[in-house]
Amino acid sequence: MTDRIVRSTAVFLRPFRLPGFDAELPAGRYLLDTEILPPAGMADPVAWRASVVIHLHPATDMPDLARALTVRLADIDAAIARDEASGQSLDQFFLQAMLDDPMIRLVMEADGVTEADLRRLYEP
């Protein structure tokens, strides 16, 4: 049986907006659950459109409250593209994504590599 939901992560380097949500969302890492197949038993599977549940960061006034927003796949793709095309070079984008990854940080620590060491490698 094929999984209907694919879990992934999106990293936004700048605050961004999504249709259907009035507030600007802060930069950071967001967990995404993408529904890639229509629900079982759907009367008209041709009318189905892929959607994404984006797990939002907790509100500062309610840190224990989990929040999520369901958006069209096209809307989250457009937000990611806008963020990636906002003037940062691809190598700097890649470097920041690496440095944001906890596993990369653990390997760096084990190997005695600092963030400054990596940034020097990627200097223009």
Is residue 31 very low, low, confident or very high in pLDDT (cuts 50, 70, 90)? very high
Helix 90-99 to helix 102-111 angle (10° resolution) is 80
- Assessment of whether the complete model's pTM goes beyond 0.85: no
Same domain, 45 and 68: yes
Q: Which tens digit of pLDDT belongs to each residue from 66-103?
A: 889 999 888 988 888 888 766 666 677 778 888 888 89
Q: Tokens standing for 35?
A: 């529904």
Residue from 37, 101, 100 nearest 73 by CA:
37
Residues 72 and 118 in one domain: no
Q: What is the mean pLDDT of the chain?
A: 84
Mean pLDDT value of segment 51-59: 89
* Residue in this structure with the two tokens 């209907």, named with its chain if needed: 4
Q: Which residue segment(s) compose the domain that 107 sits in?
A: 88-124
Are 66 and 77 in a shared domain?
yes
| Structure confidence at residue 89 (pLDDT) | 64
Q: Count structural domains, the chain.
A: 2
Sheet containing strand 5-12, edge to edge, reads 5-12, 28-35, 51-56, 67-72
